[in-house]
Amino acid sequence: MSDYVDSYYRDSRRITLASPPTSLTGSRRVDVAVVGGGVTGCSAALHLAERGYSVALVEANRIGWGASGRSGGQILTGFGTGMSTFANALGADDARRVFEMSREAVRLTVDRIRRHDIDCDLRDGAVYAALKPRHMKGFAAEQKHMRQVYDYDGLTLLDRDALNAHVRCPSYIGGLYDAESWHLHPLNYVLGLARAAQQAGVTLYEQSPVERIVHGRTPIVHTPEGALTAGHVVLGGNAYLAADVAPELSGHLMPVGNYIIATEPLFPAQVAETLPGDDAVSDANFVLDYYQLSAAPADGPRMLYGGQVSYGKKPPKRLNERMQTKLGRLFPALQNIGIDYSWGGLVGVTRNRAPHFGRIGDNVFYAQGYSGHGMALAGLAGQLIGEAVAGQSERFDLYTRLTHRRFPGGERLRTPLLVLATNFYRMRDLL
Ligand SMILES: Cc1cc2nc3c(=O)[nH]c(=O)nc-3n(C[C@H](O)[C@H](O)[C@H](O)COP(=O)(O)OP(=O)(O)OC[C@H]3O[C@@H](n4cnc5c(N)ncnc54)[C@H](O)[C@@H]3O)c2cc1C
């Protein structure tokens, strides 16, 4: 059980919860018990409380302690996989419904931020940057396909000059701008969502790890000093959920470590020479770089730059030095810039990179494995679980029709196999 990791987000936290959560002691009966205080859990709790259910949420650490409070903060349309994954599995019509839901996920995020007055530096615009001609070809095909098949007009192809208005990086040859995507301060966002849930009647418990679930007509969720008996349980532990809490989910997720640095505050000239459009950026590589500026504090915005990955619990060696070198190569104006923070978290990746939703029995729901796209999709997942608990599971069940295979190799071999696969893609990124 831990406090927040040492990150820029922790030190720029502004949202306080409506009342400080205690840990769970004793037994309580509720309509719905939610496990995990990230976007998935807080969104489900908020939505269910708005529908009139009594809800308690138990978080092993602090609200927003997991990936949600450490992420790159990009609120993106679409998924961690291309739409063909959905079209092949569900057919063209349902793939269109699924894509529309990814747009709904973004709108839901923005609406909740406005409705609940969540002060989380919300800004619009996301750019995908091309490093090679084959990336530009891919972007052009994607833009055309999304317009023709999915009626999506939000994408604009950018040549090098047009890209310069958004991001000024000599390595990029062009890009694709998504007008419907956004970015924000992720820890303030998830804390704001949790505060809204409290205001809707949800009881939050922190430092209350669920150790065991007894399944049955009214499942019981056990923490070291307490228990919740509920009509339904929502599992929102994602990459942090221990296998013994839900053995049924074991092997479906690869928890991949992903790391971000925050530079020292930039001078206005450095902002103008790097991210004049104040957009979120990610490049087109498989192991991708992504970044945004923090919203300007009095001393200037920082570059929040992410992308280094690891497959063990330890951060990559010489993380800061490597990130500083990469950043300096991308942006000459930031060569040798000081790094004030670095931190990492676990991304839950599925084999097909589509989100993994489902039920254990008929009253325990889970949503996980957004594969790097969860900041918006986890909000939608919470809403869809809320609908399913209320008996309207048609939208949730679109996702349960996707086939999710386990990673091969069991607990010990899974990581080396993914490293091998990723190294292959990393090499391809270089070509
Ligand atoms: C460095 C990084 C950058 C990322 N950048 C982006 C981005 O820019 N855009 C994007 O869309 N996605 C991004 N992601 C992914 C995104 O953050 C996640 O998909 C999303 O936050 C998942 O939310 P969640 O609520 O499902 O899981 P989490 O936020 O991880 O929350 C799970 C919570 O469950 C708790 N928990 C686990 N087990 C138990 C238990 N037994 N009992 C009680 N509580 C438990 C954990 O403590 C944790 O707080 C990034 C992830 C990382 C790590």
Question: What is the rounded distance in angstroms from the CA atom of residue 206 to the CA atom of residue 194?
Answer: 12
Name the residue of 308, 347, 356, 365 whose CB sits within 8 Å of the most ligand 1 atoms, as the mutation to test its pocket.
347
Enumerate residues 6+ apart whose C-beta is below 8 A from 286: 422, 425, 426, 428, 429
pLDDT, residue 429, reads 56
∠ CA(382), CA(387), CA(392), 5° rounding? 150
Name the residue of 238, 341, 343 whose CB sits within 8 Å of the most ligand 1 atoms, as the mutation to test its pocket.
238
The strand pairing partners of 221, in sequence order, are: 213, 228
Calculate how far, in angstroms, residue 67's C-alpha sits from the geometric centre of ligand 1: 3
Calculate how far, in angstroms, residue 421's C-alpha sits from the geometric centre of ligand 1: 23
Task: Please work out whether the CB of residue 245 comes within 6 Å of at least one atom of ligand 1.
Answer: yes
Nearest CA to ligand 1 atom 31: 38
Enumerate residues 6+ apart whose C-beta is below 8 A from 66: 36, 37, 38, 237, 238, 239, 240, 345, 346
Instruction: Give how far Cα 339 sits from Cα of 9, 283, 291, 294, Å.
Output: 14, 21, 14, 14
Identify the three-state secondary structure at position 383.
helix
Tokens of 225: 């000093």
∠ CA(55), CA(60), CA(65), 5° rounding? 100
Task: Please work out whether the CB of residue 42 comes within 6 Å of at least one atom of ligand 1.
Answer: no
Angle between helix 186-199 and helix 92-115 axes, rounded to 10 deg = 80
Task: Please work out whether the CB of residue 379 comes within 6 Å of at least one atom of ligand 1.
Answer: no
Alpha helices in 226-273 (DSSP H): 268-272
pLDDT, residue 287, reads 81
Q: Which domains does the chain have, with CATH numbers?
A: 1-121+184-252+350-431 (3.50.50.60), 123-182+254-349 (3.30.9.10)
Burial class (CB in 10 A: 0-12, 13-18, 19+), 256: buried
Calculate how far, in angstroms, residue 346's C-alpha sits from the geometric centre of ligand 1: 7
Tokens of 330: 């991308």
Burial class (CB in 10 A: 0-12, 13-18, 19+), 64: buried
Burial class (CB in 10 A: 0-12, 13-18, 19+), 394: exposed
Identify the three-state secondary structure at position 407.
coil
The strand pairing partners of 182, in sequence order, are: 75, 124
Q: How far apart are the first and last CA of the chain?
A: 43
pTM: 0.96
Enumerate residues 6+ apart whose C-beta is below 8 A from 307: 258, 259, 287, 288, 289, 290, 291, 323, 326
Alpha helices in 116-252 (DSSP H): 133-150, 160-164, 186-199
Question: What is the rounded distance in angstroms from the CA atom of residue 308 to the CA atom of residue 344?
Answer: 9
pLDDT, residue 397, reads 98
Identify the three-state secondary structure at position 363.
coil
pLDDT, residue 296, reads 67
10-residue mean pLDDT series, the chain (431 residues)? 92 96 98 98 98 98 98 97 96 98 98 98 97 96 97 98 97 97 98 98 98 98 98 98 96 94 96 97 91 85 93 84 95 96 96 97 98 97 98 97 88 58 53 52
Q: Note the Cα 279 to chain centre separation in Å.
A: 17
Residue (of 128, 149, 13) closest to 69 by Cα position: 13
